[in-house]
Structure 1
Amino acid sequence: MSDIPLAAIKAAAEATDLSVGQDLGHLLPPSWTTVVPTWFAEDTPSYDWAGFVVGEDEQEAILWGKSGGVLAGVPFFDEVFKYVGCTVEWLLPEGSVIPSGSKTKVAVVRGKARHLLLGERVGLNMLARCSGIATASRKFRDLARQEGWKGVVAGTRKTTPGFRIVEKYGMMVGGVDPHRHDLSSMVMLKDNHIWATGSITNAVKAVRRVAGFSLLVNVECQSFDEADEAIAAGANIVMLDNLEGNDLHAAAKQLKDKWRGKREFLVETSGGIVEGSLTSRVGPDIDILSTSAVHQGTGYVDFSLKIQPKKK
């Protein structure tokens, strides 16, 4: 196993500070659009009774931002309305901060009245959720940077089934690392893997035989001794789970001191990290801070879509 370049990982952390308007839509896999028909199948499983009332005259609708937050989810919103034959003209770039306290015109959507209303709730629900995650992510990233910490702020895999691609996308727009996207993206050995195999060493060696050199191995640890065993076995990342305060920072420093010049690895802190406790978990020997608080239980950014009255 070859050691990972620590400097390269830290450089990647700073690269998560994306510029406003940078097009992350190019990252999306070709298959992602297949989720959009399922959203419509859920929302309109049978007749569109109210749509019958408005008919199919060409109309314009204004997308209004009604609460403060970071705008995220542009490619998904575009695809929702493309599916029903409408077009979207954005007036603000993705990643923009929508000011609080007043309504902000965000986009203009054009199409047949019935189709605008078919896409309305599907598009707004997605945009509100994705923007809420981006807003929380931006806040966490900014708090860490205000402390002068240059490590990686990351989300987790505790996402909504079927909606992960949107939630991970929101994290990236907000400026945090999306962490692993799925079980195939990185090897993470947690307590159940270790208990099932008998030891950290057994688990790491077993997975190395099949994962090869190209996948990072991250091991969840509860103490300095467990992390030390994981590094000796060949782990690239040790997650000091639920360690806090002096226990966390002392263990991280001890690990860095012991293995300096012998092996490169990263120290991750995780477990129960919320906005109020973030600053106590960062430090000179911590490389990654991962939290589900940027996407679980986050607020929504409020949007509305209003068809413009017909001119008389």
Structure 2
Amino acid sequence: MASSTIPSYAHLLPPSWKTQVTAWLAEDTPSFDYGGFVVGEDEREAFLLGKGKQTAVLAGVPFVNEIFAQLGCTVEWHLKEGETFEPVKRVATVRGPARHLLLGERVALNLLARCSGIATKSKRIKDLARGYGFKGIIAGTRKTTPGFRLVEKYGMIVGGIDPHRHDLSSMIMLKDNHIWSSGSITAAIEQARSVGGFSLLLDVEVQSEEEADEAIAAGADVIMLDNIEGAELVGVAQRLKERWGAPGKGKKFLLETSGNITENNLQERAINEIDILSTSVVHQSVQHIDFSLKLQIPKKA
């Protein structure tokens, strides 16, 4: 009988991710731990506090667990990943040698701040879009920080949105430079299909309705209507679906809107003529969530 237990988001992580944690710790303490010298290694308890000025989503739990595990410490979480919390909240208790707690402190807090910030913003954008009646997919983009993509994409997933393609190998995306270099949309699609095979979706960026027609006719799976907004976006999307969904056409494709999407113009872009709304607003220039780690002074006997 199938288990009813909901899998942890940590089950998504690849076998190689723990080596990244080792590298982060090595970067933060490349030689001597001068501050740790004065602290010692007596067993201590520290409270991990979620602060800031807003309700936030907790994200980054497995990374924080591994940071402290590599330092011989343990983390007891008082919230589940993906839950929201109000400031100031004790989200976890960390236990271990005092020096080791401080070795992991800044690495863990920086990671948790950004991952939770992305999850919080992702949830906000999704909630706003749903409030406007949008039923399609909200997705992040590949405009992530080099070396930190795994954490940022993870934060999007915890926040409840689609992470979009993870890298250049996980989906074929043809943008303006690919098309110009190939000579045409049709030529670019044909060349990409010849090596990508049947297993990869093909997403093509277009600048006009005419280019969208060419991409659909050539067999694109997803049509990204780049920087087409307002009434024009609605009209283009409606005409494409009517034209290519008509009897005898039988073309299956998704329409995606992207480019210059903010909270201020989200309502006009979150329309149900569109299947996918992709934006970098969920991870670029995101406000981080403030966390702190406070060592507790032992009670005198």
TM-score bracket, shorter-length normalisation:
over 0.9
CA contact 1:61–1:307 (8 Å) conserved in 2: yes
Alignment of 1:20-59 (within 5 A): 23-59=8-44
Query: How many Å separate the matches in 2 of 1:107 and 1:169?
Result: 20
Q: Any unmatched runs of 5+ in structure 1?
A: 1-20
Alignment of 1:170-189 (within 5 A): 170-189=155-174
Q: Does the residue aligned with 1:253 lie in a helix, a strand or coil?
A: helix
Equivalent in 124, 143, 149 of residue 134 of structure 2? 149
In structure 1, the residue matched to 2:64 is 77
CA contact 2:135–2:272 (8 Å) conserved in 1: no
In structure 2, the residue matched to 1:17 is none
Q: Deviations over 1:75-115 (max 9, x none)?
A: 00001001111010000101111114xx1110010100000
In structure 1, the residue matched to 2:262 is 274
In structure 1, the residue matched to 2:85 is 98
In structure 1, the residue matched to 2:226 is 241
Q: Does the residue aligned with 2:156 lie in a helix, a strand or coil?
A: helix
CA contact 1:65–1:304 (8 Å) conserved in 2: yes
CA contact 2:68–2:101 (8 Å) conserved in 1: yes
Q: Deviations over 1:103-138 (max 9, x none)?
A: 111001010000000000000000000000000000
Equivalent AA in structure 1 for residue 108 of structure 2: G
In structure 2, the residue matched to 1:190 is 175
Equivalent in 179, 185, 207 of residue 200 of structure 1? 185
CA drift at 1:222: 0.4
TM-score, reference length from structure 1:
0.92
Of 180-189 and 259-268, deviating more is 259-268
CA contact 1:137–1:176 (8 Å) conserved in 2: yes
Equivalent in 279, 285, 292 of residue 304 of structure 1? 292
Q: Which runs of 4+ in 1 moved over 3 A?
A: none
Equivalent AA in structure 1 for residue 11 of structure 2: H
TM-score, reference length from structure 2:
0.95
Q: Does the residue aligned with 2:265 lie in a helix, a strand or coil?
A: helix
Q: Does the residue aligned with 2:169 lie in a helix, a strand or coil?
A: coil
Equivalent AA in structure 1 for residue 121 of structure 2: A
In structure 2, the residue matched to 1:134 is 119
Query: How many Å separate the matches in 1 of 2:69 and 2:223?
Result: 44
**Structure with the largest fraction of helix:** 1
CA contact 2:201–2:221 (8 Å) conserved in 1: yes
Q: Does the residue aligned with 1:275 lie in a helix, a strand or coil?
A: coil
CA contact 1:22–1:94 (8 Å) conserved in 2: no
CA drift at 1:284: 2.3
Q: Deviations over 1:34-63 (max 9, x none)?
A: 101111121111100010111000111010
Query: How many Å separate the matches in 2 of 1:249 and 1:217?
Result: 23
CA drift at 1:247: 1.1
CA drift at 1:285: 1.2
CA drift at 1:22: 5.5
In structure 1, the residue matched to 2:147 is 162
Query: How many Å separate the matches in 1 of 2:78 and 2:51?
Result: 15
Q: Does 1:63 align with 2:51?
A: no
| Alignment RMSD (CA, Å) | 0.9
> Percent identity among equivalent residues?
64
In structure 1, the residue matched to 2:236 is 251
Q: Does the residue aligned with 1:284 lie in a helix, a strand or coil?
A: coil
In structure 1, the residue matched to 2:3 is none
CA drift at 1:249: 1.0
In structure 2, the residue matched to 1:9 is none
